[in-house]
Amino acid sequence: MWLVDHWYPVLESRELKGSPLQAERLGQDLVFWRDQTARAQTQANRCPHMGASLSQGKIVNDHLVCPFHGFAFDRQGRCQRIPANGSERIPPIFLSCTTIRLAVVSLLLYKALM
């Protein structure tokens, strides 16, 4: 059993390179990635649209892009682009990924269990 409101080490910082990385930690399937400032990000490894594995996607312009339909998610997990809708339409808020807080301490990434 895991304690809530605690931080748990989940990954060594050096393991996280330029591509999304899938890892199961604390019973959750997660995707880790770095934004353009090299800051580590993590989200649930599941696209809210069709359930595709986001870790199979890529990073484009500071967004995690789903490999299935190309939905692009920002650091907060909010869908910012749906290619089929064009660039003018704002994606609905319900198309958001669960984002998990991370902290880097002594080159380890720590996940908050809330």
The b-or-e profile of 71-105 (16+ CB within 10 A means b, else e) is: bbbbeebebebbeeeeeeeebeeebbbebbebeee
Q: Is the pLDDT of residue 98 over 90?
A: no
Structure tokens at 28: 């959750």
- The tokens for 56 are 């199979």
The predicted pLDDT at position 86 comes to 81
pLDDT value, residue 93: 83
- Taking residue 27's Cβ as centre, other Cβ atoms within 10 Å add up to 7
Average pLDDT on 5-17 reads 81
